[in-house]
Amino acid sequence: MTTKRKGLALVLSAPSGAGKSTLIRRLVQEFPEFAFSLSTTTRAPRPGEQDGREYRFVSRAEFEKLIEKEHFAEWARVHGNYYGTPLHETRELLQAGRDILFDIDVQGARQLRQSLADSILVFILPPDQNELLRRLEQRGTDKPEEIARRMKTAREELSAAPEFDYWVVNDHLPDAYDRLRSIYLAEGCRESRNQHVLTRIQASWE
């Protein structure tokens, strides 16, 4: 029986405009002990970025070799560059009892389900189509054709919702956050992650 708490991987996905980033900021503010695994990328460092701090910067050839070696818990190609989360380091953090928060798309969540079998997948849902469209338009950062593309993608992503463990409808931010917070706290109490608690209590009888 283990004597150390096992960390949990909390994976959040959502259509653009559903409010996932805002919910994540609140969660990290309340629980700053969340760990973030350092990602690997093939894109060039931006001014001020350092290898090993913001990212691990590698060449495309190096990244593709790492894919072949199954080095990543998840990886994706975005705007011509590769991004990936190292599997070994992620597992080490979890074994050390650290909780890890993943802000990731549907494809990445599917990969994490395979590589980290006990990860907790949460899908953030908008209240409805009209509200999602309103939020995207209210941003004032995207052209109409980009908003249309995001709406089309959102409809496709919603079809993947049944693959997730939990759904949180972001209809009212405080209520949505309470639901997300409750999921995190409840999952942290699972027997499989807390066998050390029973070990400690049983030892008090000896």
pLDDT of residue 20: 92
Residue type, 46: R
Give the pTM: 0.86
pLDDT at 3: 58
| Cβ neighbours of residue 197 closer than 8 Å, sequence gap 6 or more | 5
Asked if 73 contacts 116 with a C-beta cutoff of 8 angstroms, the reply is yes
- Residue with token string 């590769």: 82
Rounded to 10 degrees, the C-alpha dihedral 172/178/180/186 comes to -160
pLDDT at 117: 87
pLDDT attached to residue 145: 92
What residues in the chain have per-residue pLDDT under 70? Answer: 1-3
Both structure tokens of 165: 């463990």
What are the structural domains of the chain? Answer: 1-34+99-206 (3.40.50.300), 37-96 (3.30.63.10)
Q: Could you read off the pLDDT of 150-182 as tens digits, one per residue?
A: 899 999 999 999 999 999 999 999 999 999 999
